[in-house]
Amino acid sequence: MRGRGLLAVGQIWVKERSDAERSIAYVAYGLTLTAVMVAVCILIRPQSLRVDYGLSYLGVFTDTIVPYAVALLGAAYCMWRASALVTDCDHSSILGWSMKIMAFQLVGLLLTPYTRFDAAHVFFGSTLFLVELGLAFLAIKWLGGSDRQIALLTGIMVLSGIACAYYLPLSRGFELQTQVVFQLAFSVLFIKLLRGLQLQPAKAG
Protein backbone atom coordinates (compact mmCIF):
# COMPACT_ATOMS: atom_id res chain seq x y z
CA MET A 1 0.00 0.00 0.00
CA ARG A 2 2.83 2.39 0.83
CA GLY A 3 4.47 1.74 -2.54
CA ARG A 4 1.18 2.44 -4.34
CA GLY A 5 0.83 5.70 -2.42
CA LEU A 6 4.28 6.83 -3.50
CA LEU A 7 3.50 6.00 -7.11
CA ALA A 8 0.24 7.96 -6.90
CA VAL A 9 2.08 11.00 -5.53
CA GLY A 10 4.56 10.66 -8.38
CA GLN A 11 1.76 10.65 -10.94
CA ILE A 12 0.44 13.95 -9.55
CA TRP A 13 3.97 15.37 -9.46
CA VAL A 14 4.56 14.89 -13.20
CA LYS A 15 1.05 15.58 -14.49
CA GLU A 16 1.11 19.28 -15.37
CA ARG A 17 4.44 19.58 -17.20
CA SER A 18 5.88 19.55 -20.70
CA ASP A 19 7.02 16.20 -22.10
CA ALA A 20 10.67 17.13 -21.53
CA GLU A 21 10.01 18.14 -17.94
CA ARG A 22 7.88 15.05 -17.34
CA SER A 23 10.57 12.71 -18.65
CA ILE A 24 13.11 14.22 -16.26
CA ALA A 25 10.59 14.18 -13.41
CA TYR A 26 9.87 10.48 -13.97
CA VAL A 27 13.57 9.61 -13.84
CA ALA A 28 14.05 11.73 -10.72
CA TYR A 29 11.03 10.18 -9.06
CA GLY A 30 12.25 6.69 -9.93
CA LEU A 31 15.59 7.52 -8.30
CA THR A 32 13.88 8.86 -5.17
CA LEU A 33 11.55 5.88 -4.86
CA THR A 34 14.40 3.42 -5.33
CA ALA A 35 16.60 5.18 -2.78
CA VAL A 36 13.83 5.16 -0.18
CA MET A 37 12.98 1.49 -0.73
CA VAL A 38 16.63 0.39 -0.67
CA ALA A 39 17.10 2.33 2.57
CA VAL A 40 14.09 0.49 4.02
CA CYS A 41 15.62 -2.84 2.98
CA ILE A 42 18.94 -1.96 4.60
CA LEU A 43 17.20 -0.94 7.82
CA ILE A 44 15.44 -4.31 7.85
CA ARG A 45 18.64 -6.23 7.04
CA PRO A 46 21.68 -4.16 8.05
CA GLN A 47 23.88 -7.21 7.50
CA SER A 48 23.48 -6.51 3.78
CA LEU A 49 26.17 -3.85 4.24
CA ARG A 50 28.67 -6.55 5.19
CA VAL A 51 27.61 -9.59 3.16
CA ASP A 52 29.08 -9.24 -0.30
CA TYR A 53 26.11 -9.92 -2.57
CA GLY A 54 25.24 -6.33 -3.34
CA LEU A 55 21.70 -5.10 -3.84
CA SER A 56 20.71 -8.56 -5.05
CA TYR A 57 21.00 -9.80 -1.47
CA LEU A 58 17.91 -7.77 -0.61
CA GLY A 59 15.77 -9.64 -3.11
CA VAL A 60 15.95 -13.13 -1.65
CA PHE A 61 14.31 -12.65 1.76
CA THR A 62 10.62 -12.47 2.59
CA ASP A 63 11.09 -9.47 4.88
CA THR A 64 12.77 -7.34 2.18
CA ILE A 65 11.25 -8.64 -1.04
CA VAL A 66 8.35 -6.16 -1.02
CA PRO A 67 10.39 -2.93 -0.73
CA TYR A 68 13.00 -4.45 -3.05
CA ALA A 69 10.32 -5.22 -5.64
CA VAL A 70 8.83 -1.73 -5.28
CA ALA A 71 12.31 -0.27 -5.83
CA LEU A 72 12.99 -2.20 -9.04
CA LEU A 73 9.48 -2.15 -10.47
CA GLY A 74 9.04 1.51 -9.58
CA ALA A 75 12.31 2.42 -11.26
CA ALA A 76 11.41 0.32 -14.30
CA TYR A 77 7.96 1.90 -14.55
CA CYS A 78 9.34 5.43 -14.30
CA MET A 79 12.06 4.71 -16.84
CA TRP A 80 9.54 3.20 -19.27
CA ARG A 81 7.16 6.14 -18.91
CA ALA A 82 10.02 8.60 -19.37
CA SER A 83 11.20 6.80 -22.51
CA ALA A 84 7.90 7.57 -24.25
CA LEU A 85 8.33 11.28 -23.55
CA VAL A 86 11.85 11.67 -24.96
CA THR A 87 10.88 12.34 -28.56
CA ASP A 88 11.87 15.89 -29.49
CA CYS A 89 15.62 16.13 -28.99
CA ASP A 90 18.86 14.95 -30.54
CA HIS A 91 19.51 11.22 -30.10
CA SER A 92 15.94 10.66 -28.87
CA SER A 93 15.78 7.23 -30.53
CA ILE A 94 18.92 5.98 -28.77
CA LEU A 95 17.76 7.45 -25.48
CA GLY A 96 14.27 6.01 -25.75
CA TRP A 97 15.42 2.51 -26.61
CA SER A 98 18.13 2.58 -23.94
CA MET A 99 15.55 3.54 -21.33
CA LYS A 100 13.23 0.74 -22.41
CA ILE A 101 16.11 -1.74 -22.26
CA MET A 102 17.03 -0.57 -18.75
CA ALA A 103 13.42 -0.96 -17.64
CA PHE A 104 13.39 -4.51 -19.00
CA GLN A 105 16.69 -5.30 -17.27
CA LEU A 106 15.40 -4.06 -13.91
CA VAL A 107 12.38 -6.33 -14.16
CA GLY A 108 14.69 -9.16 -15.19
CA LEU A 109 16.81 -8.65 -12.08
CA LEU A 110 13.73 -8.91 -9.90
CA LEU A 111 12.43 -12.07 -11.58
CA THR A 112 15.78 -13.89 -11.48
CA PRO A 113 17.03 -14.00 -7.87
CA TYR A 114 20.67 -15.06 -7.81
CA THR A 115 19.94 -17.93 -5.44
CA ARG A 116 17.90 -19.68 -8.15
CA PHE A 117 18.81 -18.16 -11.51
CA ASP A 118 22.36 -16.99 -11.01
CA ALA A 119 23.41 -16.96 -14.68
CA ALA A 120 20.33 -15.03 -15.78
CA HIS A 121 20.70 -12.62 -12.86
CA VAL A 122 24.33 -11.95 -13.75
CA PHE A 123 23.31 -11.39 -17.38
CA PHE A 124 20.70 -8.77 -16.49
CA GLY A 125 23.00 -7.06 -14.01
CA SER A 126 25.99 -7.01 -16.34
CA THR A 127 24.06 -5.72 -19.33
CA LEU A 128 22.41 -3.03 -17.20
CA PHE A 129 25.87 -1.95 -16.06
CA LEU A 130 27.12 -1.82 -19.66
CA VAL A 131 24.13 0.17 -20.93
CA GLU A 132 24.50 2.71 -18.14
CA LEU A 133 28.24 3.04 -18.64
CA GLY A 134 27.75 3.35 -22.39
CA LEU A 135 25.24 6.16 -21.88
CA ALA A 136 27.72 7.92 -19.60
CA PHE A 137 30.38 7.95 -22.32
CA LEU A 138 27.80 8.99 -24.91
CA ALA A 139 26.83 11.86 -22.62
CA ILE A 140 30.39 13.15 -22.78
CA LYS A 141 30.31 12.91 -26.58
CA TRP A 142 26.83 14.39 -27.05
CA LEU A 143 27.34 17.30 -24.68
CA GLY A 144 30.69 18.16 -26.21
CA GLY A 145 32.92 17.02 -23.38
CA SER A 146 32.78 20.49 -21.81
CA ASP A 147 30.62 19.54 -18.84
CA ARG A 148 33.02 18.76 -16.02
CA GLN A 149 30.26 17.37 -13.84
CA ILE A 150 29.39 14.77 -16.49
CA ALA A 151 33.07 13.81 -16.74
CA LEU A 152 33.34 13.59 -12.94
CA LEU A 153 30.21 11.45 -12.65
CA THR A 154 31.49 9.17 -15.41
CA GLY A 155 34.77 8.82 -13.55
CA ILE A 156 32.90 7.91 -10.37
CA MET A 157 30.95 5.30 -12.32
CA VAL A 158 34.13 3.78 -13.75
CA LEU A 159 35.87 3.63 -10.36
CA SER A 160 32.83 2.26 -8.53
CA GLY A 161 32.30 -0.24 -11.36
CA ILE A 162 35.86 -1.48 -10.93
CA ALA A 163 35.25 -1.74 -7.19
CA CYS A 164 32.06 -3.73 -7.85
CA ALA A 165 34.00 -6.16 -10.01
CA TYR A 166 36.67 -6.48 -7.31
CA TYR A 167 34.23 -7.22 -4.49
CA LEU A 168 31.92 -9.47 -6.51
CA PRO A 169 33.85 -12.76 -6.03
CA LEU A 170 34.58 -12.06 -2.35
CA SER A 171 32.43 -13.33 0.49
CA ARG A 172 32.57 -10.05 2.43
CA GLY A 173 33.18 -6.48 1.39
CA PHE A 174 31.46 -3.38 0.10
CA GLU A 175 29.62 -4.64 -2.98
CA LEU A 176 26.32 -3.02 -2.01
CA GLN A 177 27.94 0.32 -1.23
CA THR A 178 29.84 0.43 -4.52
CA GLN A 179 26.69 -0.51 -6.45
CA VAL A 180 24.78 2.29 -4.74
CA VAL A 181 27.52 4.80 -5.60
CA PHE A 182 27.48 3.63 -9.23
CA GLN A 183 23.70 3.88 -9.54
CA LEU A 184 23.51 7.26 -7.83
CA ALA A 185 26.23 8.65 -10.09
CA PHE A 186 24.47 7.29 -13.17
CA SER A 187 21.07 8.63 -12.11
CA VAL A 188 22.40 12.15 -11.57
CA LEU A 189 24.34 11.96 -14.84
CA PHE A 190 21.31 10.70 -16.75
CA ILE A 191 19.10 13.49 -15.45
CA LYS A 192 21.76 16.01 -16.50
CA LEU A 193 21.94 14.34 -19.92
CA LEU A 194 18.18 14.56 -20.41
CA ARG A 195 18.21 18.20 -19.38
CA GLY A 196 21.14 19.01 -21.64
CA LEU A 197 19.71 17.34 -24.73
CA GLN A 198 16.13 18.47 -24.26
CA LEU A 199 17.14 22.09 -23.81
CA GLN A 200 18.68 21.94 -27.28
CA PRO A 201 16.50 21.89 -30.41
CA ALA A 202 16.73 18.69 -32.43
CA LYS A 203 19.01 19.03 -35.45
CA ALA A 204 17.45 18.79 -38.86
CA GLY A 205 18.14 15.52 -40.66
List the single range of 12-16, 19-23, 139-143, 173-177 with lowest mean pLDDT: 12-16
In a domain, 73, yes or no: yes
Based on the structure, what is the number of domains in the chain?
1
- For the segment 132-166, what is each residue's pLDDT rounded down to a tens digit? 999 999 888 888 766 688 889 999 999 999 998 88
pLDDT at 19: 72
Under 8 Å between Cβ of 156 and 164: no
Tell me, yes or no, whether 205 lies in a domain.
no
Average pLDDT for 16-43: 87
CA distances from 168 to 28, 141, 177, 201 (A): 28, 30, 12, 42
Domain-located, residue 113 = yes
pLDDT for 143 equals 80
Determine the structural domain holding residue 23 and report its residue range: 6-198
Q: What is the pLDDT of residues 29-38, one digit of tens each?
A: 999 999 999 9
Q: In this predicted structure, what is the pLDDT of residue 34? A: 92
Has residue 130 been placed in a domain? yes
In a domain, residue 1? The reply is: no
Query: Is 204 inside a domain boundary?
Result: no
pLDDT tens string 56-70: 889 899 999 999 999
pTM (2 decimals)? 0.82
Q: By C-alpha distance, which of 156, 169, 193, 187 is closest to 38? A: 187
The size of the chain, in residues, is 205
In a domain, 167, yes or no: yes
- Residue 202 binned pLDDT confidence (cut-offs 50, 70, 90): very low
Mean pLDDT of 116-143: 90
Q: For residue 178, is it within any domain?
A: yes
